[in-house]
Amino acid sequence: MLAQLENKFSKSAALEVRNLFVAYKGEPSSPRPWVLQNLSMSINAGEIVAVLGKSGAGKTTLLNVISGLVEPSKGSLLFPLAPEGDGPKFACVFQEDRLLPWRSAVKNVQLSLERLGLERRNRREAAMSLLAQVGLQDAADRYPWQLSGGMRSRVALARALALQAPLLLLDESFAKLDPQTRSEMYELLLALRERHGFSVLLVTHNVEEAAYLADRAFILRNPLLGGAIEVQLGTRNKKKAEELLEALKDNSLKSSD
């Protein structure tokens, strides 16, 4: 099974967001306040795209729309690389690892394999292979309470990877980690992306994180203005972080005009 995971995704878009509008429900007679307005963006196969913005700009709403928890008011979402049938379009890693405390690390990873319908006799071997890829093969039978924060994050990443989805959604996934562990997770994510070719949508408040990991970034504008500012990144260096920070400041000034 895992051999089929290697770079299986073609060079096309993993996600396309077209003219997306999302509004809160209000009184029928009152104008609806937009949370997201006229947002268009795309994520190419194998690309890491960061989404940034001030609190209230709609980052969480965007994730909820993509994951199907919120219905858009207008616009469309396309998943061109989604597998046919019931295969997952995406996998998620949240800020909270959401590991089941009564299941060991390897059995937490097996949850995704159960969802895929992998036969029981093959699940442990496949889960162990995934844990090896995140450096936790020796901790496979430990329970979440026996793992450090960084180790728990690695298990959550392995569990998401087990779904074999073309798109990985990261919702502030590394925010609670200490700087050294966070840096290790950055390198692990980049190595896994290189190996498997999946795409990543990274929602973060951390400008340095976005500049280091992402190929492009979208800065969500004030919902009254709508849309987003696209910033090309690519090269991972301090200058890119400074440019992204300047773009964020510029967006903040324009939003307050």
How many angstroms separate the CA atoms of 241 and 210, rounded? Answer: 8
**3-state secondary structure (DSSP) of residue 91:** strand
Structural domain of residue 174, as residue ranges? 2-89+165-255
Please tell me the predicted confidence (pLDDT) of residue 249: 59
Residue 166 has pLDDT above 90, yes or no: yes
Label residue 62 by pLDDT band (50, 70, 90).
very high
Are 57 and 83 spatial neighbours (Cβ–Cβ below 8 Å)?
A: no
Residues 83 and 183 in one domain: yes
Assess whether 172 and 223 both reside in one domain: yes
Is residue 95 domain-resident?
no
| Residue at 221 is within a domain | yes
173, 55: one domain: yes
CATH classification of the domain holding 37: 3.40.50.300
- Label residue 1 by pLDDT band (50, 70, 90): very low
**Domain match, 243 and 156 both:** no
132 and 250 assigned to the same domain:
no
**What is the per-residue pLDDT across 174-218, written as a single tens digit (0 to 9) for each?**
999 999 999 999 999 999 999 999 999 999 988 889 988 999 999
Q: What's the burial of 16, exposed, middle or buried (CB within 10 Å: 0-12/13-18/19+)?
A: middle
**What is the domain count for the chain?**
2
Q: State the maximum Cα–Cα separation within the chain, in Å, rounded to a whole number.
A: 62
